[in-house]
Structure 1
Amino acid sequence: MKLKRGRPNLVWCTCSLDGEEVQVPVLFNGANKPVVSVSDWFRHLGGSGKSGAGTLAEYSKTLRNFAEFLEEHCVEFESVTDRVLKRWRNRDRHQRKCAKRTCNAKLGVVYRFYLWAQAHGYFARVIGPAEWSSGLTPPIEIRFVTSNEGKGRGRRTKITSDVVYSRLSSSPLHVPTAEEMDRAYLRLSSVGDPKIAMRNTLAFSIAEIAGSRRMETLNIRVDQIPEWDTIYNLLDEDKSFPVEIIGKGGHQEKIYLTHNILADLRDYIEGARASVIQRRSTGRKSLQDHGLVFISHTSGRPLSKDYFSRLASKAFHDEGIDATYHRIRARFLSRIVEECLDDAIEQTGFHYSPETVLNRAAELARHRSTASLKYYLRLAEKRRARQSSAQRVYELQEKELSARRSLMHAEQKLQEVEHARELLRALRSEDAVKIRDAKLNLDAKIAEILRNLPNGDAQLSL
């Protein structure tokens, strides 16, 4: 294990906690010595089962960032005060351009660490509320505020302080439109390597259509994607395919992938991904295949969620769109809420129950909070209120036509793939009759496709 000297390092280790193998980070300081209090807190979070791997990773990056700041200013963990925290907050806000909400979230992580460490004897009288009766104020002063805005769980206690930013802007984040998503997909497809473009657009499609989060998408395994025969059956029956994932908070959940996405995934796995694994498996430093669908085409290793965050932010920014990767899931949530609203109106008219709509949408979207879905319900209600009857009929007809086109395109694409695979099997068998018949079938399919194209497109394809 090689650590970078002079700056804090995070190293992920496998620990056995109560008979279960758990991946937890260990924080080392600039002198390559473990920071015991922080590392023990990470181990506590990993073993408690209350924090998922994604949450633990974010917490560890926040504490490493905080440790870097402390070492730069020669401050020990037990010597931190409100003034130190304010300087750290201001550094992130003004130099690193972090949003106020992000700064508050990072402060919340630090507060939770200090409360746990003090309760377990690592520090004494470092953090807590001011004791006005005795006139004592701890170096890190906090307040506990009870709120009714818990995620469907009643009253909730939150930590706040004078260092935390207040009066944050409550303007809702932008939900990308269909036209904006098309522009982002085109931007992703414009990279030099078409194999990388295929991988990236696939990840975006899964987030938009199935509503998967970053780590949920990245943890999809090759053995979870069905073979071609199953995909053909799904096309015939017009069904989706369930894929088990580890969701937010470490919960076992399912996302449902359409036959279109499954066909593209299977094509990517057998083509671009297979060539990367084959190339990286030869030579002196052979690579172990971790079995995940989305891998680096350079190293062959699993991709990180930060990679997709940067990729999405750049694609949206280059197109002048105010959005991030997480807003792709917002499109999914918006669609789910609108569909649930349509179902409710169809069943009960305009006397529907908003709570019923939100509960159904939260269930379909694997969302624990109905409060955060209220914004999407208001959007759907406003859109519907502005629509005339004729506009509504036209929108439904457009949706039906779009679905038919998508189905026809998927069927045609699967037929093309099957004819090509038939020719490949014939070539491997070295049977001249089979090769001739397979080539004739493929040529006939190509000729049929060209006949169905406009004249200009057909000439271009030829």
Structure 2
Amino acid sequence: MIFYKTTDEDCILQGAFSKSSYSGIPVFFDSNGVVEGVSNYLIFKAIKDTDEITSVTTYAYQLQTFLRFIDEKGKGLSWQSVTDGHLVEFRDTKIKSGNKDSYVAGVLRTVFDFFLWAERNKVIRHHVAIYNDDREYAISAEKTKTSWKWPHIPSSTSKAKPTPTNDDLEILHVTTIEESDVVGTRDSLIFTIYERSARRMEALQIKVSDVPDWEDIEAYQAENKVFYVEVKGKRKIDRDLEFLPETMELLREYIESERADAVNAAKKRNKFYKEPDDLFLAATTGKPLNKQYISRRLSGLMKKAGVSGTGHRVRAKGLTDIVAAFDGFDDRGQPKSAQDVLIRAAEKAGHSNPQSLRHYLALSRSEGLAAKMNNIELLRDLGIKVQTRKKQLADIDKANDLFEAILNDLNVEGELLKFLEQYLGKQKVSEVKS
């Protein structure tokens, strides 16, 4: 029986010069113990190739599906002996049993990627046909523009995941701010940072100390300059997130309002509480947010707003905007080379493979975003500010009866009691939502 288990925080991986703790990495086992080749591939994917441990778990599940199939069909056949015949048999059996072509294609892409990695890293030798000779190999390979693929994968008819439009994002920000008086601004700002192409782990790296004071923000506005915040991206490569002064203004307001309220509440609950430098905090505990929480929170808000996809798709919109910023026409009035645009955009977005942004270039050109991008961001920042002010004015309106009672010295105690009841009831509702 082949199965996998994931590591906990006690797992230590020994590198060339250091040891590091990693949790959530799948490790495969069979009757003889650890299946080293498969486990090492997943360690590589987790540490060197991606920052999304959830994706690595998906790869593990797909590999387990295939390895169990050949273990049962091949009477204990090892993965090192897999051939095209086994891959074809798996493909046909799964499709005949009712699995969708897109599902089978996804599993086979991961399986082939594993064998390709094993061949390139000399875990197996002369097993995958990635050499320019006439020899026969156990597993076929077909050259693509950027790598290799197994030539017999079924065609997938799955639709591309939706990328939110500008109208979608306007609705999303309004819904998010109205959803909670305690964390509405915070969550809206996380969406804004996603729109600047930040990944979850990058958004959570931003510190209070990264946000300039009001004087610096006004100076940058006057000089029409942008702010840069350095974060560590995939493969621990440094990259800069770019923010307009108007966005920094919103972040500074959040620090002095919602975030300050969260810190004060945490201090009242726990006298030993120490305020962290992390920008985004939980309203009830004052602790930094984690990746799992913001994924659940943002996905729920998108569902409430009726916007398809997840927070990751908001980032896809940001990638489209980055590509659009480098697109346009050259000095001769000709459209810029797609390759040049993609190379510059990939460097900006922290992507190692420029071709991975090709879809966003097509989307950008179809929407004509290159000339609109900065105006869109400015308008969205203005919209967030307007929505926040509307909430503040609504709170003031609720106090009008109290103000009138004080001015006319009529039933002041009664109006004060009514106002306090409304305010405390609202606070309790907000705490439940946070």
| TM-score, length basis structure 2 | 0.62
Aligned-pair CA distance for 1:246: 1.0
Q: Any idea what the Cα deviations from partners look like across 1:46-79, whole Å, max 9, x if unmatched? A: 99x7335x155632564378679999xx999986
Change over 3 Å in CA distance of 1:99–1:221 after alignment to 2: farther
Separation in structure 2 between the aligned mates of residue 227 and residue 168 of structure 1, nearest angstrom: 51
Structure 1 partner of 2:168: 180
Separation in structure 2 between the aligned mates of residue 99 and residue 300 of structure 1, nearest angstrom: 42
The code of the aligned residue for 2:184 comes to A
SS in 2 for 1:256: strand
Is the 2:187–2:298 contact (alpha carbons within 8 Å) kept by the matching residues of 1?
no
Separation in structure 2 between the aligned mates of residue 380 and residue 37 of structure 1, nearest angstrom: 43
Please tell me whether residue 166 in structure 1 is matched to residue 188 in structure 2: no
Change over 3 Å in CA distance of 1:407–1:382 after alignment to 2: closer
Separation in structure 2 between the aligned mates of residue 239 and residue 39 of structure 1, nearest angstrom: 49
Decide which of 212, 235, 238 is 2:224's aligned counterpart: 238
Please tell me whether residue 17 in structure 1 is matched to residue 15 in structure 2: yes
Decide which of 187, 190, 195 is 1:203's aligned counterpart: 190
Q: What are the equivalent positions in structure 2 for 1:50-449 lying under 5 Å apart? A: 50-52=48-50, 54-55=51-52, 58-60=55-57, 62-63=59-60, 103-104=107-108, 106-107=110-111, 111=115, 119=123, 142-147=139-144, 149-150=145-146, 156=147, 158=148, 160=150, 165-169=153-157, 172-191=160-179, 193-208=180-195, 210-277=196-263, 279-280=265-266, 291-342=277-328, 344=329, 347-350=331-334, 352-382=336-366, 403=378
Aligned-pair CA distance for 1:331: 2.2
Q: Any idea what the Cα deviations from partners look like across 1:124-179, whole Å, max 9, x if unmatched? A: x9x9559xxxxxxx9xx7443322x21xxxxx2x35386xx521237554332211
Q: Any idea what the Cα deviations from partners look like across 1:331-373, whole Å, max 9, x if unmatched? A: 223333334333x25x321365444444444444444444344
SS in 2 for 1:335: helix
Separation in structure 1 between the aligned mates of residue 188 and residue 364 of structure 2, nearest angstrom: 27
Aligned-pair CA distance for 1:315: 3.8
Separation in structure 1 between the aligned mates of residue 4 and residue 302 of structure 2, nearest angstrom: 33
Q: More relative contact order in 1 or in 2 (CA 8 Å, sep 6+)? A: 2
Aligned-pair CA distance for 1:260: 2.3
The code of the aligned residue for 1:256 comes to E
Is the 1:296–1:302 contact (alpha carbons within 8 Å) kept by the matching residues of 2?
yes
Is the 1:211–1:329 contact (alpha carbons within 8 Å) kept by the matching residues of 2?
yes
Separation in structure 2 between the aligned mates of residue 376 and residue 98 of structure 1, nearest angstrom: 22
Separation in structure 2 between the aligned mates of residue 231 and residue 186 of structure 1, nearest angstrom: 25
Separation in structure 1 between the aligned mates of residue 227 and residue 293 of structure 2, nearest angstrom: 27
Structure 2 partner of 1:45: 44
Change over 3 Å in CA distance of 1:24–1:237 after alignment to 2: same
Change over 3 Å in CA distance of 1:362–1:271 after alignment to 2: same
Aligned-pair CA distance for 1:90: 6.5
Is the 1:340–1:357 contact (alpha carbons within 8 Å) kept by the matching residues of 2?
yes
Is the 2:205–2:231 contact (alpha carbons within 8 Å) kept by the matching residues of 1?
yes
Aligned-pair CA distance for 1:101: 6.6
Change over 3 Å in CA distance of 1:218–1:161 after alignment to 2: farther
Structure 2 partner of 1:459: none
Aligned length: 369
Aligned-pair CA distance for 1:215: 2.0
Change over 3 Å in CA distance of 1:262–1:289 after alignment to 2: same
Separation in structure 2 between the aligned mates of residue 278 and residue 188 of structure 1, nearest angstrom: 23
SS in 2 for 1:194: coil
Task: Note the residue ranges of structure 2 that are not aligned, 5 or more in a row.
Answer: 130-136, 390-434
User: Percent identity, aligned pairs only?
Assistant: 22
Separation in structure 2 between the aligned mates of residue 285 and residue 117 of structure 1, nearest angstrom: 54
Change over 3 Å in CA distance of 1:371–1:97 after alignment to 2: closer
Is the 1:16–1:22 contact (alpha carbons within 8 Å) kept by the matching residues of 2?
yes
